[in-house]
Amino acid sequence: MASLLLTLFSALFFAVTITESEAYSTTVKAPYPGHKPEKLTHLHFYFHDVVSAKKPTSVVVARSPTTNSSATAFGMVAVVDDILTVGPEITSEEVGRAQGIFASTDQNKFSLLMAFNLVFTKGEFSGSTASMYGRNPIMSKVREMPIIGGTGAFRFGRGYAQAKTFTFNTTSGNAVVEYNVYIWH
């Protein structure tokens, strides 16, 4: 009995010792003393997807042999450097670029995988970027995609973007998409 108690006691003691010496998480001081989370920023801009022009800003770089016969262009991959403006006209003030890749990844519903850096070039957020990654079912009225990080003012950023097609020219294929982006940073 005494030896059983001793075994239990040492097992408990051992467990306590391990717990104290091998903590798997610690609280550290913020590495940037000037950084004051959390601020919520709302960004509103228009995204110009120009596929037909002398200098398109959205180009298809790959298709699978079956992409053309797919109703959803499944397998298509495009590289993008689209202009972001304050207003819906492309001549309106440019505030940044949407640089990234999209791919058609849904065989039943037209939907894109979006992997984008929103690169801001005007005002308070000039030089900062926000990383947007998510699913964009382009036929839906409002599409929501996560903001998964950022640089500069958007360090530690997280949030979401809502995209709404403003105009789509069925002849040229060019589109203007209204974005509302909310970022905690």
Binding site for ligand NAG (CB under 6 A): 52, 63, 65, 68, 169, 171-172
- Structure letter (DSSP) for residue 21: H
How many residues does this entry show for the chain?
Answer: 185
Q: Which is nearer to ligand NAG, 50 or 161 (CB)?
A: 50
In the complex, minimum distance from the CB of residue 64 to ligand NAG, in angstroms, rounded to a whole number = 8
> β-strand 58-62 against 175-184: which pairing, if any?
unpaired
Q: Which is nearer to ligand NAG, 117 or 165 (CB)?
A: 165
Q: Which is nearer to ligand NAG, 104 or 129 (CB)?
A: 104
163 neighbors 47 (Cβ within 8 angstroms) = yes
In the complex, minimum distance from the CB of residue 173 to ligand NAG, in angstroms, rounded to a whole number = 8
Return d(Cα 96, Cα 119) in angstroms, integer: 5
Return d(Cα 96, Cα 151) in angstroms, integer: 14
In the complex, minimum distance from the CB of residue 105 to ligand NAG, in angstroms, rounded to a whole number = 18
Return d(Cα 16, Cα 57) in angstroms, integer: 61
Q: Which is nearer to ligand NAG, 10 or 172 (CB)?
A: 172
**Residue 9 has which token pair?**
């006691």
In the complex, minimum distance from the CB of residue 48 to ligand NAG, in angstroms, rounded to a whole number = 12
